[in-house]
Structure 1
């Protein structure tokens, strides 16, 4: 079942004082099925971050539309956008975005608190997620007391706590060492096997090789895509490397 549709999305920025127009996205079209795990790759300036901001309703396309489970995101008012993000989208950022003044538990529960959930339901949701992410023993600690990998698993728990339709991950392994990055990617694979839809922007070939599909963006369009199918992660890694080489050297699709 199709959960996300990105239909001929274009984004043009006008520079300060109305100077030159900068076309960040030229014509982006793709769909994501419920339960998919999709990675988006591309060189710096290819439009990945712009696309993620539009998907997150933090920006609006100049043309085209984004539809999430039948809802046109362009028709959501600014007043309702924050509530929509909190309830329908889960976010995992490179720099964790945790509040040092809150415990791990309170960081995870924050979206539920903002949405007015009762205490008993918050606890009922917290326990299985914390156990699944192996952070149950960290709940009373503060972010400055735990490792980078533990911080990112806390961020994943916060993203999952509202049962979002879609997880948007922005370079989630970028601030982690190789061991913590592999642990996080294993977590992503596990929650995806549980049915969670994930869309991840990454520069990391290793991270992308865990996904079921990889979209490559170049010059504001979807340049190419790879499906994992029955391929091993090692085979996927090599295929991703080949496409990135073609992009860097100006090769054909």
Structure 2
């Protein structure tokens, strides 16, 4: 069953005085199944960040539909969008987006506090997540007291604690060293195996090779996709690298 459906999505930006128009997305169509782990790749300017912002309901398309579990997010009223995002979406960012004046625990609790949940219920939700992410001993520390990898684990915990339908990750390994990157990718794979649906935008071939499917965006459209199926991470890495070469050189790519 498709959890996310992207139908004929187009995005055109108009300059301030309306003199010029820039087409960021021209006709994007794809679906994501419940429990899938999808990476989105493309060169700078290809439209992948614009697409992620639209999936996150942070921006609206010029045309087209975004269906999350059958609900068209494009039609949600502005005053209802924040609550919709808190309830249905979890976010993991490259720069963590943690508040330095809050402990890791309070950062993780933030979406639940905004939803009006009580402390006992919040603790009940946090304990199994913190244990799985191996950050229980860090919860009282502040972001400036922990490593980049530990910050990102706290950010993942914040994304998971609302039990979202979909996690959207924007370059989640971009600010991490190689060891922390490997740990985060292992973590993403583990939570996906638990049934969590993930869509990740990344420049990293290594990160994308851990996903079950990779979509390549070129000139504002889905240009190609690769299913991992029974491939090893190394085989997937080689396939992705070949597809990126085709993207960069302007060649044609078959399925």
SS state at 2:38 partner? strand
1:125 aligns with 2:125: yes
State the distance in 1 between where 2:18 and 2:27 align.
Answer: 23
State the distance in 2 between where 1:101 and 1:72 align.
Answer: 36
What is residue 79 of structure 2 aligned with on the other side? 79
What is residue 175 of structure 1 aligned with on the other side? 175
State the distance in 2 between where 1:116 and 1:247 align.
Answer: 47
* Offset of residue 19 of structure 1: 1.2
The TM-score, its normalising length taken from structure 1, stands at 0.99
Q: How many residues are matched?
A: 253
1:129-177: CA deviations, max 9, x gaps? Answer: 0000000000000000000000000000000000000000000000000
* Offset of residue 65 of structure 1: 0.6
Give the unaligned 5+ runs of structure 1: none
What is residue 153 of structure 1 aligned with on the other side? 153
What is residue 221 of structure 1 aligned with on the other side? 221
SS state at 1:87 partner? helix
1:166-220: CA deviations, max 9, x gaps? Answer: 0000000000001101100000000000000000000000000000000000000
SS state at 2:17 partner? helix
What is residue 3 of structure 2 aligned with on the other side? 3
State the distance in 1 between where 2:231 and 2:245 align.
Answer: 20
1:13-43: CA deviations, max 9, x gaps? Answer: 0112111110000000000000000000000
State the distance in 1 between where 2:106 and 2:90 align.
Answer: 16
State the distance in 2 between where 1:111 and 1:132 align.
Answer: 19
SS state at 1:16 partner? coil
* Offset of residue 119 of structure 1: 1.4
State the distance in 2 between where 1:241 and 1:86 align.
Answer: 35
Q: What pairs up with 1:201-216 in 2 under 5 angstroms?
A: 201-216=201-216
State the distance in 1 between where 2:200 and 2:19 align.
Answer: 33
What is residue 43 of structure 1 aligned with on the other side? 43
What is residue 33 of structure 1 aligned with on the other side? 33
What is residue 189 of structure 2 aligned with on the other side? 189
State the distance in 2 between where 1:213 and 1:181 align.
Answer: 19
State the distance in 1 between where 2:93 and 2:246 align.
Answer: 28
State the distance in 1 between where 2:187 and 2:162 align.
Answer: 17
SS state at 1:22 partner? strand
Give the unaligned 5+ runs of structure 2: none
